[in-house]
């Protein structure tokens, strides 16, 4: 659990500042579950430059509660939480100073979104909250006021959690929570806390280490299977599980891509069987001596670039039978009807005779190229748009020159085709044979998915 906060102060000498306004959002990693926002009477003078910056003046604070009157609420809302702030060393120092004046020792773990942003979103011209959120397309209202800046930090932190492919943030959070509580894991409690939604889930041991990563269209149901199944792997997980965290994706494609990337990065002990390539066969093309484009299913080879890939030979053949019908292709030239004569479809007038050179290569190859263009994204610049985590959000998968660059989430009012906006929201990911297979398979299975050519 996180307490994301922002504090406005009087300014002045080091450790002599007082709080004029505080906003705290209690955030469970997915949504805000509690909040506290208040002006505070600092019982000291506000520096003129601060008045000009924040708009908060002494007259506004005459009837505001003093710090000792809000201290209990601050303790309650931040209890068992990691404090998150933009330049957290400043906000945390100010809070501890105020509590020290009351004779109370205030101690919490902290995370700084400035440092996290430098690590997870490198190359930004500035990491000040205003400039960073502007470059990332995060809307900010009431700048230099505690509530506006705290809410902007919530949105920024949510984006950082998404970009944290190594799961540095959640692993450290889990380790702290388990160390404090040391509860024997109650499987029902774990399951009850999970959503019945699409996303990626992370099973942790008592040290916070990720021991298994998976994806599901229904996270709650899938974890229930893990914790009740009698297989050898499930029994091992049941003995080690201390907690489960998750990341909603909305999109099954995003969940598949994140699962693949994060298994490779984190190498969880119980994912070892899944680290092999997830496809075995591929569709290739070449020209024969007569100028016809031949389509051929073969075992996937690392040195050749396929049109698309398949988990097994049977799924490849099923695909070929379907596209032969859709594009009026020749069964013989697609490897489905070995023959020295015409193919079977020619006898029922569904093949135009390429198998016996009645149809000329130019006409036939044009239809083959239409198939290739549809199912291969080689050398293409394109976006794949899918559903997001809520109704006002979408996901985007970015392909540049046929290379998978990464993915991100965006609000519907974003100019997603603007390159600067696009690159700011994209979490870079590795392009490899697994990601190519995941994307190609998804495009084959979901014919209505929205794509945008760039």
Calpha distance 240→206 (Å, rounded): 7
Calpha distance 256→214 (Å, rounded): 9
pLDDT for residue 142: 79
Calpha distance 28→208 (Å, rounded): 16
| Residue ranges in the chain modelled with pLDDT below 70 | 173-185, 273-278, 302-304, 413
pLDDT for residue 125: 85
E strands, 91-147, in order: 109-112
Cα separations in angstroms, 31 against 28, 132, 158? 6, 22, 9
Beta strands at 82-85 and 2-9: parallel, antiparallel or unpaired? parallel
Q: What is the pLDDT of residues 260-275, one digit of tens each?
A: 999 988 899 998 755 5
Beta bridge partners of 39: 21
Q: Nearest Cα to 241, choosing from 275, 207, 205, 265?
A: 205
Are the C-beta atoms of 178 and 216 separated by less than 8 Å? no
pLDDT for residue 173: 66
Calpha distance 88→74 (Å, rounded): 16
> Which tokens go with 26?
């209690």
Fill in the DSSP letter of residue 196. Answer: S
Could you tell me which residues come within 8 angstroms of residue 445 by beta carbon, excluding any fewer than 6 positions away? none
Are the C-beta atoms of 21 and 7 separated by less than 8 Å? yes
Number of H helices and E strands in the chain, helices first, is: 17, 16
The phi and psi torsions of 175 (rounded to 5 degrees) equal -60, -40
pLDDT for residue 440: 85
Calpha distance 307→369 (Å, rounded): 11
Q: Nearest Cα to 206, choosing from 244, 234, 233?
A: 244
> Which tokens go with 93?
């120092």
């Amino acid at each position: 659990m996180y307490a994301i906060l922002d504090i406005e102060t009087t300014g002045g000498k080091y450790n002599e500042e007082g709080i004029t306004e505080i906003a705290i959002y209690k955030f469970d990693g997915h949504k805000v579950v509690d909040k506290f926002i208040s002006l505070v009477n600092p019982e000291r003078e506000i520096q003129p430059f601060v008045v000009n910056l924040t708009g908060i003046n002494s007259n506004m604070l005459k009837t505001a509660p003093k710090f000792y009157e809000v201290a209990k609420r601050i303790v309650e809302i931040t209890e068992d939480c990691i404090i998150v702030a933009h330049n957290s060393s400043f906000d945390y120092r100010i809070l501890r100073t105020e509590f020290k004046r009351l004779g109370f020792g205030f101690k919490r773990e902290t995370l700084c979104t400035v440092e996290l942003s430098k690590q997870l979103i490198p190359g930004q011209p500035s990491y000040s909250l205003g400039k960073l959120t502007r470059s990332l397309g995060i809307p900010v209202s009431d700048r230099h006021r505690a509530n506006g800046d705290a809410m902007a930090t919530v949105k920024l932190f949510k984006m950082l959690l998404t970009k944290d492919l190594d799961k540095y943030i959640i692993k450290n959070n889990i380790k702290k929570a388990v160390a404090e509580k040391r509860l024997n894991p109650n499987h029902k409690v774990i399951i009850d806390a999970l959503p019945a939604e699409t996303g990626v889930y992370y099973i942790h041991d008592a040290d916070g280490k990720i021991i298994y990563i998976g994806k599901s269209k229904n996270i709650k149901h899938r974890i229930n299977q893990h914790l009740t199944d009698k297989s050898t792997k499930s029994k091992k997980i049941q003995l080690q599980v201390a907690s489960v965290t998750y990341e909603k994706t909305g999109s099954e494609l995003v969940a598949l891509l994140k699962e693949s990337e994060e298994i490779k990065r984190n190498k969880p002990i119980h994912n070892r069987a899944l680290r092999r390539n997830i496809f075995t066969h591929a569709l290739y093309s070449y020209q024969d001596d007569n100028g016809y484009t031949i389509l051929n299913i073969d075992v996937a080879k690392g040195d050749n670039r396929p049109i698309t890939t398949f988990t097994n030979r049977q799924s490849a053949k099923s695909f070929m039978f379907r596209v032969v019908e859709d594009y009026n292709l020749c069964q013989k030239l697609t490897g489905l009807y070995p023959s020295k004569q015409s193919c079977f479809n020619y006898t029922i007038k569904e093949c135009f005779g390429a198998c016996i050179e009645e149809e000329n290569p130019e006409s036939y190859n044009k239809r083959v190229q239409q198939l290739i263009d549809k199912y291969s994204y080689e050398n293409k610049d394109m976006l794949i748009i899918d559903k997001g985590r809520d109704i006002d959000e979408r996901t985007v998968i970015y392909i540049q020159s046929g290379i998978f660059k990464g993915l991100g989430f965006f609000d519907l009012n974003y100019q997603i085709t603007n390159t600067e906006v696009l690159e700011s929201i994209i979490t870079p990911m590795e392009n490899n044979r697994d990601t190519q297979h995941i994307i190609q398979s998804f495009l084959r299975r979901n014919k209505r998915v929205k794509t945008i050519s760039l």
